A and B are shown apart, each in its own frame.
Chain A
C-alpha cells in the first residue's frame, strides 16, 4: 500500500502531471508537491506525486556504495 514508484514527468497541466513509468503513461496529481517540471522524476503513490527524486542525493548514495564495492568484501 505504501508502494510508490519513480516516474518521469512528461508534461504538466494545472494540478496534474502526465508521467511515465517505463513506457506506460499515468496521471499524477500535484496537489501534494510543487515546483515540478517536465523531466523531473517524482515518486507516484496512489495517483499522487508525493516527492521529487533528488538526482544529486542519488548520485552521492551511489558514490558511497561504489566506494564500498571497490574495497571488496573480505
Chain B
C-alpha cells in the first residue's frame, strides 16, 4: 500500500535508528502523546532499536481513555429516555461506567448502535423520525470537525431528532497541564492527525513556556524514528522548537475548512479528563446557535460523581507518571476481555497495547 509500505522499510528503520545512536549522547525521555503512536511503537518493537538512553512514555492522547467515568454514566443515563437510540464509535461501548457499561445496557435491550461515521447517526435519525437519536461525541480535534459537519448538515436538513452529547476535547491544554504538573519529559512526539486539522501553532506555548521540543509525527515506524531523531537533535543542541516530520499530511496552517466548522459549532468549556481532572478550556461545547442539537440542553440529566475503579491507575498512566506494569490488576483482574479501566478497553489504550505486545 502506497504511503505505508515505504515507511515500514526495515533498511530505513535501521538507518534512522543508527543515525539516532550517532547523535544522541544524553539521557532523554520523550512522550508520544497519541495512542496511535503508542500502538505503533509496541507493534513494531521500536524501543528495541533505540539506544538505552532514549525513553518513550505514553501520554493522554487516547480519546476513549480520557473520557471520564462520569461521561460514561451520563451516556448510560440517556439509554433510559423513552425510545432513545444511542449511537457511538465502537471503542466506547465497552468502557466500564460506575455500575454498568453501554455494552451491558445493549445486552439488556437498549437500542445502542455502533457507527463508523457520525453521518450514519444522522441517517439513523432520518430513518426514525419519531425517536430521539443520540450521538456520543468523543475524540480530539481530528474527530470533532466530523461532528461539527454532521450538526451543520442536520440543521440544513431540519432534522429535529438528532442530538449530540459532546465530550470532544482539545489537546493543547492537556499538554500544558502535564507540564505544569511537572511531568519528567524532554519533548513531545505530537499527534499527527490532530495537527493535520489544527496546524502547528497550537504547540507554540509548549515551546515558549514549557521549553520542550515538539515534533509532529506520522504513524509508521520510519515516521516515528525520524521524529525521535529530530527531537534528539533539538535536545542535544538545546534548541527546542516545533517541527513537522509528517509533512506529507500536516501543513503549518492546518485544515481551514475543518477549523471553521469547529469554531462555527463549538466553543471551549472546562472539561473533565480521566486522570487529569478538570482542565480549563479543554473541552468542546455546542454553541447556542446549534443548541437544538445539544443533548445536554434538550435532555438534561444529572448523574452523581463516582470514584474511579479501585486499584486502577489509568490516571497516573495518562499523565506519564506510571506504566501498566505498576498496576496490580494488569493482566490478572484487568484484561482486554474483562477491562477494569478505560486504558484497557481502547485498542490504543496504553494498558491494552502493553497487554497485546507483552513479552
Contacts and interface: CB of A to CB of B under 8 A. Distances in A.
Interface in B1-60: 1-4, 6, 11-12, 14-19, 21-22, 34-36
A2 B248 contact: no
Residue of A50, A65, A71, A74 contacting most chain B CB atoms (<10 Å): A65
A32 B247 CA distance: 19
A54 B247 contact: yes
Nearest to A60: B247
B18 A73 contact: yes
Nearest to A34: B257
A21 B205 CA distance: 37
Contacts of B193: 2-4, 43, 45, 50
B: interface residue count bin: 35 or more
Given A46-B146, A54-B249, A61-B247, A31 B153 contact: yes
Given A1-B138, A32-B145, A32-B146, 14 more contacts: A3-B348, A32-B257, A43-B196, A45-B143, A45-B193, A46-B117, A48-B117, A57-B247, A57-B248, A58-B3, A68-B19, A71-B19, A73-B22, A74-B22
B97 interface: no
Interface string B200-222: 00000000000000000000001
The 8 closest A-B pairs by CB, nearest first: A73-B18, A47-B117, A69-B15, A58-B248, A31-B149, A6-B3, A57-B247, A1-B63
Among B36, B138, B153, B248, find the residue whose CB has the most chain A CB atoms closer than 10 A.
Answer: B248
Contacts of A50: 142, 145, 193, 196-197, 255, 258
A32 B149 contact: yes
Interface in B232-258: 245, 247-250, 255, 257-258
B140 interface: yes
24 contacts: A1-B62, A1-B89, A2-B35, A2-B143, A2-B193, A3-B348, A22-B1, A32-B149, A41-B2, A45-B143, A45-B193, A46-B139, A47-B119, A48-B149, A50-B142, A50-B255, A51-B255, A53-B248, A57-B247, A60-B247, A65-B15, A68-B19, A72-B15, A73-B19
A62 B35 CA distance: 25
B87 interface: no
Contacts of B250: 51
A47 B257 contact: no
Contact of A1 (B64, B120, B258): B64
B97 to A, nearest CB: 19
B96 interface: no
Contacts of B17: 73
Contacts, number: 141
Contacts of B142: 1-2, 4, 45, 50
Contact of A32 (B3, B62, B91, B258): B258
A18 to B, nearest CB: 14
B156 to A, nearest CB: 11
A39 to B, nearest CB: 12
A1 B346 contact: yes
B261 A32 contact: yes
Nearest to B348: A1
Interface in A22-67: 22, 29, 31-34, 41, 43, 45-48, 50-51, 53-55, 57-58, 60-62, 65-66
B132 interface: no
A25 to B, nearest CB: 14
B226 interface: yes
Nearest to A65: B12
Given A34-B257, A45-B143, A6 B118 contact: no
